[in-house]
Amino acid sequence: MNVIVCVKQIPDPALPGALDPSTKTLKRDGKLILDESDSYGVEMALQLVGKAGGGEVSLVSMAPNGETSGMRTALAMGAARGVLVSDPALQGTDALTTAKILAAAVQKLGGADLIIAATESSDGYTGTVPEQLAEVLGLPSITFAKSVDVDGTTLKVNRQTEAGFDEVTCTLPALVSVTAGVVEPRYPSFKGIMAAKSKPVDTVTAADLGVSPVGWAGAGQEIVEIGQAAARQAGEIVEDDGEGYAKIVAFLESKKVI
């Protein structure tokens, strides 16, 4: 069974992020890391391939400056190879064109039985790329997976809902987007980190994949305004004089939590 995982490489969320005021986008010029959201997809893929007893996990990523640091983390976890799409012409590429680029990268890898993405990324989080990617590839998609299993050619997913979960199935090949916590991602071993250095990552441009227009020219999405998030206001501290619980209950009732 062959699985392709979409891995977004993002600025380290532990460092202060910076916006480019001229383009109103996140600055992505430093080192990029594997989005934690996608580490769940990589782990899920490795477990499914292991259970199937054969096949491999491949990666597709679109990122600036030929950046592969995040992909190397996924390769160190156990993925076999990857395609990186990196190209100055991609600057300003919106979610739909990203999906078209990733679809072409998937096709370059020869397709797969299953494609895995995260429900949403940590830095941009439109939460639209996985479904757009499935549509471009003409595949069924199941979203918000809290557990994933494959039985022969059937994909079985418990799909997170507000009330619990739905049991959803479809026929492979398909795309599934997974939620955080679907599995516990493994830490790359030292051996895995060393092996990842020599695993193949094919770096291509949008033109190599035959996708155009890209970048600002192809974007149907526009960021019209950016601003600072409002500072959080101080919370109210309830001193317990024996009746503190009543104030907390009144507060929760006012918020319609209870």
Ligand X SMILES: Cc1cc2nc3c(=O)[nH]c(=O)nc-3n(C[C@H](O)[C@H](O)[C@H](O)COP(=O)(O)OP(=O)(O)OC[C@H]3O[C@@H](n4cnc5c(N)ncnc54)[C@H](O)[C@@H]3O)c2cc1C
Q: Is 150 helix (H, G, I), strand (E, B) or coil?
A: strand
The strand pair at 32-34 and 9-11 is best described as antiparallel
Binding mask 9-48 for ligand X (x = CB under 6 A): ----------------x--x------x-xx----------
Of 119 and 246, the one with the shorter C-beta distance to ligand X is 119
Cβ neighbours for 13, distance < 8 A, ≥ 6 positions apart = 122, 123
Contact 102, 28 (CB under 8 A): no
Of 73 and 121, the one with the shorter C-beta distance to ligand X is 121
By CB under 6 A, is residue 64 in contact with ligand X?
yes
Cβ neighbours for 2, distance < 8 A, ≥ 6 positions apart = 49, 55, 56, 57, 58, 112, 113, 114
Find the part of the chain contacting ligand X (CB under 6 A) among 89-97, 143-151, 201-209, 243-251. Answer: 89-97
* # residues near ligand X by CB under 6 A: 34
Of 35 and 113, the one with the shorter C-beta distance to ligand X is 35
Gap between the Cα atoms of 146 and 17, Å rounded: 30
We find the least distance from the C-beta atom of residue 226 to ligand X, in angstroms, to be 11
Of 147 and 179, the one with the shorter C-beta distance to ligand X is 179
Binding mask 152-181 for ligand X (x = CB under 6 A): ------------------------------
Of 50 and 66, the one with the shorter C-beta distance to ligand X is 66
By CB under 6 A, is residue 61 in contact with ligand X?
yes
By CB under 6 A, is residue 182 in contact with ligand X?
no
By CB under 6 A, is residue 69 in contact with ligand X?
no
Q: Is 123 helix (H, G, I), strand (E, B) or coil?
A: coil
Gap between the Cα atoms of 72 and 136, Å rounded: 27
DSSP 74: H
Member of 180, 201, 219, 247 binding ligand X (CB under 6 A)? 219
CB-count burial class (<10 Å; 0-12, 13-18, 19+) for 62? buried
Contact 171, 155 (CB under 8 A): yes
Binding mask 100-139 for ligand X (x = CB under 6 A): --x--------------xx-xx--xxxxxxx---------
DSSP assignments along 11-69, one per residue: E-TTSPP-EETTTTEE---S-EEE-HHHHHHHHHHHHHHHHHTS--EEEEEE-STT--H
Member of 3, 33, 63, 209 binding ligand X (CB under 6 A)? 63
By CB under 6 A, is residue 143 in contact with ligand X?
no
Binding site for ligand X (CB under 6 A): 6-8, 25, 28, 35, 37-38, 61-64, 90-95, 98, 102, 117-118, 120-121, 124-130, 219, 221, 223
